[in-house]
């Protein structure tokens, strides 16, 4: 491994079928005012809402609800949440849901006590908090984003046609995360598959960079192999606890910052996928699956040795009789076949994206330099066209 890094992840993770039992103990460390953030009615239908409200009540907490967090949280919703948190002097934000709810809670946590334009400060200018940050805890119901153990927050501004993620420091990471894989059984099948691919791409974004011998890459390969294996079981038997628990744990490790240590990282698939999401409100994991293969096929020649390694180690493609380039291409073919097997979207047209949106998506795509080949705007447009 090359270079220097500092690794710090302060999130305490309670994992397993009885992990919600730990919530009462976590609540004891915070003041009386709790903002309960969640999405639609799924946690009420499953009974999880009643369980959590009961735990909050027994702990003597004053609960201020912030429901209706959408799958791509907007600046307008963020302003609503900031108002609730500030007016009620909230001591803790408890996010119950998937990555969107947790992302949203973190955005509220840094901006509630800021008097200005939160979108401009935290997402356009990418500034950090310079005042009070409200602690966040989370109860995860959908695995995929890894938001439960990192400082990332993604917010959408439809008026500006932008969807931007800001990775804040460890002071914004949740203080605790409750990860009960059984809670993910309530997620619709489409969302489960999207979450699987989201996590897989998180690993790819950190893996496809660098040429040194990096322990982080070996860990990434193990995570990818585990996820592929578990996903094949889960799509056939969604209530297989062992498979879903392995998926949940891989999703957490895919983006808890560990496998980025000592590495440059790419994230260009996410930049393109988020630009698509800003225009379509499509499910995040599916925007990534739709643009991934055209992107990786374009950049493969610039990092062909790593793509060949990906083929050998992750997909067990035999190297014998193949050139390095042929092996690398075969690895992407194997990845494509797996994507078909788990049923993720491979064409943007299925997400409501049309050719006349390409220019807007190009404008909304941030060009990063951590991967093997920084894109030109023409190459972004080419990827989008090939993804249609």
CA distance linking residue 157 with residue 165, whole number of Å: 11
Q: Closest by alpha carbon to 110, among 33, 177, 156, 170?
A: 170
Does the global pTM surpass 0.85?
Answer: yes
Judgement on whether residues 199 and 135 belong to the same structural domain of the protein:
no
Q: Tokens 């119901």 map to which residue?
A: 141
Judgement on whether residues 233 and 377 belong to the same structural domain of the protein:
yes
In a domain, 136, yes or no: yes
Please check whether residue 178 is in contact with residue 11, taking contact to mean a CB–CB distance below 8 angstroms.
Answer: no
Angle between helices 377-387 and 284-299 (to 10 degrees): 120
Please check whether residue 221 is in contact with residue 281, taking contact to mean a CB–CB distance below 8 angstroms.
Answer: no
Angle between helices 324-342 and 304-313 (to 10 degrees): 50
Judgement on whether residues 197 and 179 belong to the same structural domain of the protein:
no
Q: Of 143, 160, 183, which closes a domain?
A: 183
Please check whether residue 32 is in contact with residue 61, taking contact to mean a CB–CB distance below 8 angstroms.
Answer: yes
Q: Of 134, 151, 183, which closes a domain?
A: 183
Q: How many domains does the chain have?
A: 2
Q: Around 124, how many Cα atoms within 13 Å sit in the side-chain half-sphere? A: 10
In a domain, 100, yes or no: yes
Which domain covers residue 46, as residue numbers?
12-183
Cα distance from N-terminal residue to C-terminal residue, the chain: 38
DSSP label at residue 74: B
Structure token pair of residue 287: 């925007």
In a domain, 363, yes or no: yes
Judgement on whether residues 204 and 339 belong to the same structural domain of the protein:
yes
Judgement on whether residues 40 and 128 belong to the same structural domain of the protein:
yes
Q: How many residues does the chain have?
A: 388
CA distance linking residue 293 with residue 319, whole number of Å: 21
Q: Tokens 């990092």 map to which residue?
A: 303
CA distance linking residue 152 with residue 170, whole number of Å: 10
Query: CB within 8 A of 54, min separation 6: which ones?
Result: none
Ramachandran class of 164: left when φ > 0, alpha when ψ lies in -120 to 50, beta otherwise = beta
Please check whether residue 305 is in contact with residue 217, taking contact to mean a CB–CB distance below 8 angstroms.
Answer: no
Please check whether residue 232 is in contact with residue 242, taking contact to mean a CB–CB distance below 8 angstroms.
Answer: no
Judgement on whether residues 162 and 280 belong to the same structural domain of the protein:
no
Judgement on whether residues 225 and 141 belong to the same structural domain of the protein:
no
Judgement on whether residues 259 and 155 belong to the same structural domain of the protein:
no
Tens of pLDDT along the chain (388 residues) come to 888 999 999 999 999 999 999 999 999 999 999 999 999 889 999 999 999 999 999 999 999 999 999 999 999 999 999 999 999 999 999 999 999 999 999 999 999 999 999 999 999 999 999 989 999 999 999 999 999 999 999 999 999 999 999 999 999 999 999 999 999 999 999 999 999 999 999 999 999 999 999 999 999 999 999 999 999 999 999 999 999 999 999 999 999 999 999 999 999 999 999 999 999 999 999 999 999 999 999 999 999 999 999 999 999 999 999 999 999 999 999 999 999 999 999 999 999 999 999 999 999 999 999 999 999 999 999 999 999 9
In a domain, 3, yes or no: no
In a domain, 1, yes or no: no
In a domain, 134, yes or no: yes
Judgement on whether residues 147 and 194 belong to the same structural domain of the protein:
no
Q: Of 183, 212, 245, which closes a domain?
A: 183
In a domain, 4, yes or no: no
β-strand 12-15 against 152-157: which pairing, if any?
unpaired
CA distance linking residue 279 with residue 158, whole number of Å: 7
In a domain, 7, yes or no: no
Judgement on whether residues 47 and 73 belong to the same structural domain of the protein:
yes
């Amino acid at each position: 491994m090359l270079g220097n890094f500092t690794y710090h992840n302060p999130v305490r993770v309670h994992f397993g079928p009885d992990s919600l039992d730990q919530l009462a103990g976590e609540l004891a460390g915070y003041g009386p005012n709790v903002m309960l953030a969640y999405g639609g009615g799924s946690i009420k239908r499953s009974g999880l809402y009643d369980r959590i409200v009961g735990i909050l009540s027994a702990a003597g907490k004053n609960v201020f609800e912030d429901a209706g967090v959408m799958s791509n949280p907007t600046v307008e919703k963020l302003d609503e949440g900031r108002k609730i948190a500030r007016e009620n002097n909230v001591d803790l934000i408890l996010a119950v849901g998937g990555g969107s709810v947790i992302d949203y809670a973190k955005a509220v946590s840094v901006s509630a006590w800021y008097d200005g334009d939160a979108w401009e400060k935290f997402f356009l200018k990418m500034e950090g908090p310079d005042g009070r940050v409200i602690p966040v805890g989370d109860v995860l119901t959908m695995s995929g984003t890894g938001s439960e153990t990192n400082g990332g927050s993604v917010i959408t501004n439809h008026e500006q046609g932008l969807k931007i993620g800001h990775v804040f420091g460890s002071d914004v990471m949740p203080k605790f995360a409750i990860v009960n894989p059984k809670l993910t059984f309530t997620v619709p099948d489409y969302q489960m598959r999207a979450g699987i691919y989201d996590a897989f791409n998180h690993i790819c974004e950190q893996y496809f960079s660098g040429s040194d011998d990096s322990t982080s890459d070996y860990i990434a390969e193990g995570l990818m192999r585990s996820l592929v294996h578990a996903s094949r079981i889960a799509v056939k038997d969604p209530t297989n606890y062992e498979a879903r628990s392995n998926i949940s744990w891989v999703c957490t490790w895919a983006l808890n910052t560990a496998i980025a240590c000592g590495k440059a990282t790419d994230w260009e698939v996410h930049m393109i996928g988020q630009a698509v999401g800003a225009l379509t409100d499509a499910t995040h994991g599916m925007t990534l699956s739709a643009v991934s293969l055209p992107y990786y096929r374009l950049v493969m020649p610039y990092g062909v040795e790593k793509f060949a390694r990906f083929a050998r180690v992750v997909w067990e493609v035999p190297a014998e009789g193949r050139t390095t380039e042929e092996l690398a291409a075969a690895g992407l073919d194997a990845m494509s076949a797996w994507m078909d097997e788990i049923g993720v979207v491979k064409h943007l047209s299925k997400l409501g994206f049309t050719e006349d949106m390409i220019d807007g998506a190009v404008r909304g795509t941030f060009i990063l330099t951590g991967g093997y080949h920084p894109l030109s705007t023409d190459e972004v447009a080419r990827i989008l066209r090939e993804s249609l």
